[in-house]
A and B are shown apart, each in its own frame.
Chain A
C-alpha cells in the first residue's frame, strides 16, 4: 500500500488512470485517509455532484494483511445529502483486495465531458478505465454477475446501482461480500451519487498473483493478532451475542427500553418488535436453511452476518442488520420479516441506504402516501425509486427532501441525514452525538473505544449533564481513530471491556509498520481526523446551529416513558471544546 490511484474523469480530456506516491498521505488509512484528502483537496463550497468534488475510497491500515477484522473500506467525499464532509464505511472483500493490490486509496476526480458510463478494472498490471454503456441502469446484483462473467478471476466489485446513476442523495456504494453478492454498502450520505456523477459504474478488483501484505516484524505481529482474536472470542458480545443473532439482537432491548423509534418517531415501543427481532430472524434463517453466522469478509472472526432465504429456500438477501430492520420495520409499523428482507434486497440492488430509505418511507407514510404497517406499499415505494419515477426521485433524495415536498413537520434528520435506530429522547447521550457529529446523525460516530481506557479528556461523571457531552466527545474521537485503522467497529465491544485486547490492536499496528504508537497517539489521530472534518464543514458554511436535533425531540414526549430531549444547546456547543 504505497501508492494512490487517481482516476481523472475529465472534462478537459478523456478519463485516465494515474498512480501517484503517497506523499503527505503516508501513514493514513480508512477514514483518516478519506477525510484528509477531502479536506485538503476538495473546495468546501463546491457542488457535491460537480467536477471539483472527489470520491476517495480507502482500505484500512491493516487491510490486506492477516490481521483479523481488518476489512473495512472507507468512502469519502463532500456529501450531496448533508453538504458537509462524509465518510461512509462498509465491510465486504473490497478493502482486502484493494490493499493487496498495493493501493492506499483510489481518488476519482473531475467529471466526464460526455454522458457515458465507465468501468475501472484493476489487477496486478495496473488500472484501466473502459467505457461501457451496456451497464446503464443495471441493478447491483445483475451488474456484479455480468462482471464475474467478463472477469472470472475478479475478487471484488465496488459499484453503484440505478440510484447512484440517477445521483440520488440516498445512493450507496456497494461492495461485494465473500459470495460475490453486492450486499455490503457504504451507505450514508449519498456517496453513491458522487460516484454516479463521475460516471463510474463499477470498479472490478482482481488480486490474482498478489500476496498478503507482510509486516515489518512478523513474529510480534502474529503474536498480537493471536491475542486480539482471543480477546474477541472470549468476550460475550463479540464471541456470543453477535455471532448468534447479528446486530438485530438489539431490537428486543431497544423496544423494551421504550427507545425504539416507532412509526416515524411517534412512539418508543413497537408492538410487533418480537416478530422482527434477531431471535426471530435467527429461528427463521435456521428453518429455511440460511446461515446465521458468517463473516462479510475473509478474516472476520466475529461473523455477525448471515443469509436470509425466501419461503422456497432461495437466497433473498444478507441477514438484515438491526438498523435496516428498524428503518423498514418498526419505524414504518411493519412487522413482517420477509417484507423487510425484500426491502433490504431492493435497497442493495438499487444501491440505496436502508436507514435513509426506511426513514423516508416513514415520513411519506406520515404524509399519507401510504398507511403505516402496509408492507406492500413500502415495497412499491422503493420500486418507484428504482424506476426513477418523479415520486421515486423525491423519495430517493432522502427524508429531509421528502418531508419538505409533502409538508411533514416531524422529519428526523440532522444536517439533512436521517437519524438511525435509537431515540435520543430515551438515550440522551446518543442524541448528543447525533447532533454534533460532522457526518450528520450517525450511529457509528460514537460506537467505539471507551473513554476510560483511552483516558481522553480525563475521567468524567457519566451521570452529570456535562458527562453526556464529555462522553460523546471522547467517543467521537475514539471512533475516528478506529475508523482509520480499517477495523470493523464491532471490535469496540471487546476493546471496551478488555484493555489487553485494545493493546493487542496497537501492538499489531506497531509490529506491522515498525511504529511506537501509544494509546495517546491513537487519541491524537482521532482528534486530527475530527478537526479536519469540522474545519471542512465550517468552510462549507456550517455553524453551531447545524449541531442541533429537530425541535420535536424537545417538544414531543416519547411514550411509554414520556421523555423529551433535555440536553441544552449550550451543552451541545461544548462538545468540541478540547
Chain B
C-alpha cells in the first residue's frame, strides 16, 4: 500500500517585531523542528538555534526531555523523535523543584532525566519542541527564524484569532518559494497540510 504523504507548504513571513507575539500561543502547544540530532540540548540551542548564552542562562530555567526534568543541558542528548520542553522560572515549591539544578531538585528525583552525555553522533532528525510561558517571547523568535513545522489548521487559527495585529505588521510573504501577498496568504486553505513556517522580524 502506498504511504499517504501529508502535503507540505512552506511559508516565509517577514513581520514587524510586535506581530511576533501572535505565534507564541502556538509554540506552547508544541511544534516540530528538523535539526541535527545526537547532540546535547545545549549544543542544539546554542549552536544550531544560535540562542545567546545569556538568554539560555537567565530565561531557560526549567527543561524537560521526554517529560523528565533535566538538570544538565550538556549531559542530556537530543535523539530523533524526542520531545524537548523549555520554561522560565516557576512559582511554588514545585516550581523550585523542577528548576534545573535547583536546591530542591531532589524533591522530584522520581521524574528526573539522568543523561550520560554520550550520543550516537550527529545526524539529521527531528524533535518536538514546546515553549512554555515566558520562553515564548524570549526563545520563541529564534525557533521562528530557524523554521518550525506545524499543522496547517493551527496556523489558520492564528490567522483568525490574531488577524489584526498579524496582518498589520506583515511586511513580506513568500509561499512555496515565491513572493506573494498578505491577501493570498489569508486565502490559503491549509487544512490537512503540514506547514514549514519561517518568521523573520524586521524593523522596515
Output the least CB separation between B98 and chain A (Å): 6
A256 x B67 contact (CB < 8 A): yes
Is A427 an interface position by the 8 A CB rule?
yes
Is B108 an interface position by the 8 A CB rule?
yes
Is A249 an interface position by the 8 A CB rule?
yes
- Looking at the complex, which one of B62, B110, B161 makes contact with A566 (CB distance below 8 Å)? B110
Q: A427-B94, A464-B106 are in contact. Are A279 and B25 (CB under 8 A)?
A: yes
A253 x B62 contact (CB < 8 A): yes
A450 to B133, CA, bound (A): 24
B108 x A257 contact (CB < 8 A): yes
Q: A237-B91, A250-B95, A446-B93 are in contact. Are A561 and B106 (CB under 8 A)?
A: no
Is B58 an interface position by the 8 A CB rule?
yes
A463 to B112, CA, bound (A): 11
Is A461 an interface position by the 8 A CB rule?
yes
0/1 interface trace, chain A 418-443, chain B, CB 8 Å (1 if under): 00001001111110010000000001
Is A468 an interface position by the 8 A CB rule?
yes
Output the least CB separation between A474 and chain B (Å): 11
- State how many residues of chain B have any CB contact under 8 Å with chain A: 41
B93 x A257 contact (CB < 8 A): no
A516 to B85, CA, bound (A): 46
Residues of B within 8 Å of A254, CB to CB, are 94
Residues of A within 8 Å of B96, CB to CB, are 450, 493, 496
B107's nearest neighbour on chain A, judged by CB, is: A429
Q: A249-B91, A252-B130, A277-B28 are in contact. Are A471 and B108 (CB under 8 A)?
A: no
Q: Which of A21-29, A66-74, A102-110, A238-246 contacts B (4 or more CB under 8 A)?
A: A238-246
Residues of A within 8 Å of B105, CB to CB, are 462-463
Residues of B within 8 Å of A561, CB to CB, are 67-68, 110-111
Is A467 an interface position by the 8 A CB rule?
yes
3 nearest CB pairs, A to B: A429-B107, A462-B106, A236-B89
Output the least CB separation between B26 and chain A (Å): 10
Q: In residues 22-69 of chain B, which contact A (Cβ within 8 Å)? A: 24-25, 28-30, 58-59, 61-62, 64, 67-69
Residues of B within 8 Å of A278, CB to CB, are 133
A259 x B106 contact (CB < 8 A): no
- Looking at the complex, which one of A240, A256, A427 makes contact with B108 (CB distance below 8 Å)? A427
Residues of B within 8 Å of A433, CB to CB, are 93
Is B87 an interface position by the 8 A CB rule?
yes
- Looking at the complex, which one of A247, A429, A446, A468 makes contact with B91 (CB distance below 8 Å)? A247
Output the least CB separation between A483 and chain B (Å): 14
B91 x A241 contact (CB < 8 A): yes
A237 x B134 contact (CB < 8 A): no
Q: A253-B87, A279-B136, A427-B97 are in contact. Are A259 and B161 (CB under 8 A)?
A: no
By DSSP majority rule, is chain A's interface helix, strand, loop, or mixed? Answer: helix
A280 to B30, CA, bound (A): 14
Chain B positions within 8 Å of A, measured between CB atoms, are 24-25, 28-30, 58-59, 61-62, 64, 67-69, 85, 87-98, 103-111, 130, 132-134, 136, 161
B30's nearest neighbour on chain A, judged by CB, is: A274
Residues of A within 8 Å of B91, CB to CB, are 237, 241-242, 247, 249-250, 304, 490, 493
Residues of B within 8 Å of A496, CB to CB, are 96
Output the least CB separation between B158 and chain A (Å): 11
A244 x B134 contact (CB < 8 A): yes
- Looking at the complex, which one of B30, B64, B90, B107 makes contact with A250 (CB distance below 8 Å)? B90
B111's nearest neighbour on chain A, judged by CB, is: A426
Residues of A within 8 Å of B92, CB to CB, are 247, 250, 443, 447, 493
0/1 interface trace, chain A 278-294, chain B, CB 8 Å (1 if under): 11100100010000000
A278 to B88, CA, bound (A): 13
A236 x B88 contact (CB < 8 A): yes
Is A452 an interface position by the 8 A CB rule?
yes
Q: A252-B28, A422-B94, A493-B96 are in contact. Are A241 and B104 (CB under 8 A)?
A: no
A259 x B134 contact (CB < 8 A): no
A274 to B85, CA, bound (A): 13
Output the least CB separation between B155 and chain A (Å): 16
A249 x B106 contact (CB < 8 A): no
Residues of B within 8 Å of A467, CB to CB, are 106
A424's nearest neighbour on chain B, judged by CB, is: B110
Output the least CB separation between B58 and chain A (Å): 7
Interface centre among A241, A280, A561, A566 (most CB of B within 10 A): A241
Output the least CB separation between A269 and chain B (Å): 7
B28 x A428 contact (CB < 8 A): no
Output the least CB separation between B56 and chain A (Å): 14
Residues of A within 8 Å of B136, CB to CB, are 279
A269 to B130, CA, bound (A): 15
A279 x B133 contact (CB < 8 A): yes
B90 x A237 contact (CB < 8 A): yes
A451 to B93, CA, bound (A): 12
A433 to B92, CA, bound (A): 14
Is A563 an interface position by the 8 A CB rule?
yes
B29 x A244 contact (CB < 8 A): no
A270 to B107, CA, bound (A): 22
Q: A450-B103, A468-B107 are in contact. Are A253 and B68 (CB under 8 A)?
A: no
Output the least CB separation between B133 and chain A (Å): 5
Is A475 an interface position by the 8 A CB rule?
yes
- Between A and B, 20 residue pairs with Cβ closer than 8 Å are A236-B58, A236-B89, A237-B89, A237-B90, A241-B134, A244-B133, A247-B92, A249-B133, A250-B94, A252-B130, A274-B29, A277-B132, A279-B133, A427-B94, A427-B108, A429-B104, A447-B92, A464-B106, A468-B107, A490-B91
Output the least CB separation between B108 and chain A (Å): 5
